[in-house]
Structure 1
Amino acid sequence: MNEDTVKGQWKQIKGKAKEVWGDITDDELTRVEGNADQLAGLVQERYGRTREEAEREVKDFFDKNRGPY
């Protein structure tokens, strides 16, 4: 997914991200503003995933939640 598109839709999908990754705070989700690399870093840190696992998880999340907002 195009990162610019994610940033534009981030406010709409941030709540879904909170449902998936409840250990990441609202403030942290606001700060990443849809940046996949930053979000993957938080997922890696909070959930003990490898970098590759976190990147794949974030990519899958964005792919599932893209849509017309």
Structure 2
Amino acid sequence: MNWDRIEGNWKQLKGQAQEHWGKLTEDDLDRAEGRREQLIGRVQERYGVAKDEAERQVDEFAGRF
């Protein structure tokens, strides 16, 4: 699924994202609004991982849809 579709369906996918990244708060996910770069930044922040690792995780999550 491309990121335009993820952004468009973010309200439905937000719960799945929160299950996947339990440390992300609802506020984190609301601020990301399905935007890839915003989500990568939130994952980096909460999990203390490098940008390339956060990108890998986000892309892996998106690949499921």
Same fold (TM over 0.5): yes
Number of the residue aligned with 1:8: 8
Point out 4+ residue stretches in structure 1 off by more than 4 angstroms.
none
SS at match of 1:41: helix
CA distance in 2, matches of 1:18, 1:28: 9
CA distance in 2, matches of 1:61, 1:25: 17
Number of the residue aligned with 2:28: 28
Unpaired runs of at least 5, structure 1: none
Normalization by structure 2: what TM-score? Answer: 0.91
CA distance in 1, matches of 2:31, 2:38: 9
Unpaired runs of at least 5, structure 2: none
| RMSD (Å), alpha carbons | 1.0
> Is the counterpart of residue 63 in structure 1 residue 58 in structure 2?
no
In structure 2, give the amino acid aligned to 1:57. Answer: Q
Normalization by structure 1: what TM-score? Answer: 0.86
1:14-39 per-position Cα deviation (integer Å, ceiling 9, x unaligned): 00110111111101101111111111
In structure 2, give the amino acid aligned to 1:35. Answer: R
1:2 Cα deviation after fit: 2.2
